[in-house]
């Protein structure tokens, strides 16, 4: 028995039990394809399939790519619109038979990085950004989370920032690293102007390739790659579930 984390993404749903003392997975994670269409009913079913491949657990944390307040999903920019106003925590608790905490996916990754990764022991204003299909954000002030910031949707050059600077934009427009880094710099400079952060942590799959674009970034704030990589969401979801239990 223990705490289990599930990370819901646009292409995959992955989960594993988490060792909250070490900040690592307690067993090899299981990943299943995200159903298409990714409706509430279909995603809840797949989350159940992931969880049931492991022994019983006391509590589960689940990430979601959108604003989540009190277990209810409020936005669904990159997933099926059936999620808007869905009581996700309630539906999952009914499906799985144990308490389920649902948290924004970037917030979960940030929680994990602040506890066990690149943000550990860092005070001041820390901004975690995940570059993938969109841009997720998590903001911490002296280690405390300001939830659901959704800074990927800040307007930049007349459109959502994530439409220009996400990793999906890089691949779909076949941008080289230097050209993409120029867009990322523009976005980060905008955040610098708004927030004067002390540290940027860059997560998402692209964080594994930071050596390709970090040297081309032109910003004033210290910037580091995330260290927990693809496990950050799972670990952060479990930490959120632990906090809810307390």
Q: pLDDT-based confidence at 1, cuts 50/70/90?
A: low
Parallel/antiparallel/unpaired status of strands 159-160 and 155-156: antiparallel
pLDDT in tens, 8-17: 988 899 999 9
The Cα–Cα gap between 28 and 182 comes to 37
Q: Which of 16, 28, 22 has the alpha carbon at shortest distance from 60?
A: 16
Phi, psi values for residue 126, rounded to 5°: -115, 130
pLDDT in tens, 103-142: 999 999 999 999 999 999 999 999 999 999 899 999 999 9
The Cα–Cα gap between 152 and 164 comes to 10
pLDDT in tens, 172-215: 999 999 999 999 999 999 999 999 999 999 999 899 999 999 99
CB–CB of 240/94 below 8 Å? no
* Torsion sign (Cα): 38, 98, 229, 217: positive
Alpha-carbon dihedral of residues 115, 118, 120, 124, nearest 10 degrees?
A: -110
The Cα–Cα gap between 34 and 43 comes to 7
Domains of the chain, each with CATH number or no CATH: 3-107+231-245 (3.30.420.40), 121-226 (3.30.420.40)
The Cα–Cα gap between 34 and 79 comes to 10
């Amino acid at each position: 028995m223990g705490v289990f984390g599930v990370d819901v993404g646009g292409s995959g749903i992955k989960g594993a039990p988490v060792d909250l003392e070490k900040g690592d997975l307690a067993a090899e994670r299981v990943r299943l394809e995200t159903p298409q269409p990714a409706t509430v009913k279909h995603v809840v079913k797949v989350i159940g399939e992931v969880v049931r491949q492991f022994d019983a657990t006391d509590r589960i944390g689940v990430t979601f790519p959108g604003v989540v307040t009190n277990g209810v999903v409020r936005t669904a920019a990159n997933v099926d619109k059936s999620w808007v106003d869905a009581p996700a925590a309630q539906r999952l608790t009914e499906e799985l038979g144990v308490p389920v905490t649902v948290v924004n996916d970037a917030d979960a990754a940030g929680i994990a990085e602040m506890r066990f990764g690149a943000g550990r022991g860092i005070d001041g204003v820390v901004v975690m950004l995940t570059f993938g299909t969109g841009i997720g954000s998590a903001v911490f002030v002296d280690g405390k989370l300001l939830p659901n910031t959704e800074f990927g949707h800040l307007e930049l050059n007349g459109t959502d920032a994530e439409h220009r600077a996400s990793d999906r934009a890089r691949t779909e427009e076949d941008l080289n690293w230097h050209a993409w880094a120029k867009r990322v710099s523009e976005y980060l400079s905008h955040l610098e102007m708004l927030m004067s952060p002390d540290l940027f942590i860059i997560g998402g799959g692209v964080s594994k390739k930071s050596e390709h674009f970090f040297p081309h970034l032109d910003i004033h704030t210290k910037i580091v790659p995330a260290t927990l990589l693809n496990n950050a969401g799972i670990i952060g979801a479990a930490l959120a579930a632990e906090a809810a239990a307390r």
